[in-house]
Structures are given as structure tokens and as C-alpha cells.
């Protein structure tokens, strides 16, 4: 069993389900990500899939246009990543990252897979769907986030620190004492769980 591939598959299933649940007239609705619409959230997730292929000198396969078929566009990107995860020769290759070298599969797990779990909430909130996150993901992401050194977290909150127009997390949002772990996780990543 490949835990990384299984985790990716579970999160991609959830993201695809949320994409397919978006009403046609809601794609332009604002998301909790400042300046992004619901469609922009899906675009970002697809763009992050493309970024995972760059260390392999690959690009995303041809796909339906995002404007016409958001689900088809996402599923095509998903197919490319699942093919990488299924091929040990690609998945276990070393690749550079802003935080140091790692394997391609670990980079996928820690970037696009984790990102997809959070952005599924963004998309759900933008389009009036259930934003409940898988408790397993919440606990895992909280543990990962809690282990990030303060200087690295500050860098992740700094616009352009990882490239032009890139900010990994927004400023931390205050939540009431006794807030759920999901709300604390969202707040720590710069999301207002009450939005």
C-alpha cells in the first residue's frame, strides 16, 4: 500500500466531488482566498498539479478548458499526478524545493495533496457546500503546521517569498477559545472559518 498515493486519491475524490457540486451560476462567487473566485480556486489546484510535474520535465496532458469544464480540467490533472505516483521511477526521484531536496512523491504529498484538502474547504465555502474536512486530514495538517519553525512560517506568510505573486498562507486569524481543531487549522493558514 502506498500511503501517499492513497491519501492523494482520497483527497482528489473529495475535491472532485466538491467541484461537481458547484452550481453553474456560482463559479464567479468569491472564495475565502482573498481576490479569488470559486473558479480561481480550481485553477490554482490545477496549476499546483502542473508545478509537481516540472521536476520531471513534464507538463500537464491536454485537458478540457477550465472555463467550460472545471471538473474535466481537474480530472485530467489528477490523472497525470496519479500516473507519477504509480511509477516508482518517477515518484522516488529527487527534486529541489524551496525548503530543500525531497522526493517527487513527498513533494506531491506535502504540497498539492495538503493544498487540495484546504482548498476543498475554500471551494465548498465559496459555493454553499458542506465545508467539513476529514478529521484525519485536520489532525495530520495540524501536526504538520505545528511543527513548522516560526521563521519558516513567517516566510510562508510573506508575499513573493516563494516567487512572484506567491504567498502560501495569509496572516493568522483569531478564533475564540475552545474553537474546533478544524477552525484552528483554518485560522492558522490565514482563513476565517466563520466566512
- Domain residues for the domain of 184 are 133-195
Q: Where are the beta strands (DSSP E) in the chain?
A: 94-95, 102-103
Confidence check: pLDDT of 165 > 70: no
Confirm if 118 and 98 have CB atoms less than 8 A apart: no
Domain identity same for 171 and 89: no
Buried b or exposed e, range 34-63, using 16+ CB within 10 angstroms:
eebbbbbbbbbbbebbeebbebbeeebeeb
pLDDT band at residue 170, thresholds of 50, 70 and 90?
confident
- Decide which of 98, 129, 160 is a domain's last residue: 129
Residues 19 and 107 in one domain: yes
- If pLDDT is split at 50, 70 and 90, which confidence band does 1 have? very low
Residue 166 has pLDDT above 70, yes or no: no
Of residues 6 and 171, more confidence is placed in 6
Segment 51-70 mean pLDDT = 95
**Do 187 and 94 reside in the same domain of the chain?**
no
105 and 17 co-located in one domain: yes
- Do both 182 and 144 map to the same domain? yes
Q: Are residues 67 and 160 in the same domain?
A: no
Which domain-ending residue is among 129, 145, 173? 129
| 108 and 17 both lie in a single domain | yes
CATH of residue 68: 1.20.120.450
The reply to whether 154 and 86 lie within a common domain is no
| DSSP label of 147 | T
| Distance between CA atoms of residues 146 and 42, nearest Å | 27
**How many domains does the chain divide into?**
2
Same domain, 95 and 78: yes
Q: CA-based diameter of the chain, in Å?
A: 48
* Mean pLDDT score, 189-194: 89
Q: Are both 111 and 165 inside the same structural domain? A: no
Amino acid at each position: 500500500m502506498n500511503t501517499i498515493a492513497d491519501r492523494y486519491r482520497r483527497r482528489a475524490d473529495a475535491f472532485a466531488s466538491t467541484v461537481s457540486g458547484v452550481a453553474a451560476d456560482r463559479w464567479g462567487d468569491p472564495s475565502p482566498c482573498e481576490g479569488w473566485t470559486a473558479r480561481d480556486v480550481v485553477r490554482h489546484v490545477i496549476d499546483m498539479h502542473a508545478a509537481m510535474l516540472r521536476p520531471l520535465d513534464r507538463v500537464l496532458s491536454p485537458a478540457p478548458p477550465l472555463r467550460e469544464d472545471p471538473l474535466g480540467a481537474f480530472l485530467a490533472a489528477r490523472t497525470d499526478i496519479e500516473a507519477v505516483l504509480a511509477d516508482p521511477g518517477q515518484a522516488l526521484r529527487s527534486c529541489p524545493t524551496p525548503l530543500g531536496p525531497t522526493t517527487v512523491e513527498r513533494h506531491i504529498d506535502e504540497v498539492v495533496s495538503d493544498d487540495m484538502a484546504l482548498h476543498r474547504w475554500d471551494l465548498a465555502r465559496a459555493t454553499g457546500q458542506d465545508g467539513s474536512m476529514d478529521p484525519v486530514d485536520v489532525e495530520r495538517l495540524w501536526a504538520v503546521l505545528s511543527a513548522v519553525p516560526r521563521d519558516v512560517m513567517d516566510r510562508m506568510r510573506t508575499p513573493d517569498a516563494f516567487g512572484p505573486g506567491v504567498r502560501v498562507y495569509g496572516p493568522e486569524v483569531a478564533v475564540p477559545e475552545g474553537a474546533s481543531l478544524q477552525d484552528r487549522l483554518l485560522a492558522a493558514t490565514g482563513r476565517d472559518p466563520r466566512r
